[in-house]
Amino acid sequence: MIVLDTHVLLWWLSNPENLSSKAAEIIEKSMKDRAIYVSSISAWEIAMLSSRGRLELTIDVDDWIAAAESLPFVYFVPVNNRIAIKSVHLPDFAHPDPADRIIIATALSLRATLVTKDRRILDYPHVTASW
């Protein structure tokens, strides 16, 4: 079971050449196991980046997210109260980005490996992360 960071979701579906070989391998295995999870905060993050002109998608952001949701091996995880609270109480994680904190809390809640290129997350000892 894996949780994809926002940039990994984007790269996997739009620019897979940006993935490390290890990340691509982990995703491929998780596809077969139907065990790819994405925090709903990633949908928010993608929509925000798109609306601010920092991300160009080839289709409308609503359609892009709907296409990702329709994949039979991808599950979006809502930001529930438990995840929201856990994101505030991450031990020794000083990074203030709420999306990163929620994605980490999601992975911790699911006891899943977080696939990310983000060095701050890869170096965070309280979550299993891989790139």
Note the pLDDT tens digit of each residue in 55-106: 999 999 999 999 999 999 999 999 999 999 999 999 999 888 999 999 999 9
Domain ranges of the chain: 2-41+69-130
Note the maximum CA span of the chain.
Answer: 39
Do 112 and 1 contact (CB within 8 A), yes or no? yes
Task: For the full predicted model, state whether its pTM sits above 0.75.
Answer: yes
**Right CATH for 2-41+69-130 from 3.40.50.970, 3.50.50.60, 3.40.50.300, 3.40.50.1010:** 3.40.50.1010
Note the pLDDT tens digit of each residue in 11-44: 999 999 999 999 999 999 999 999 999 999 999 9
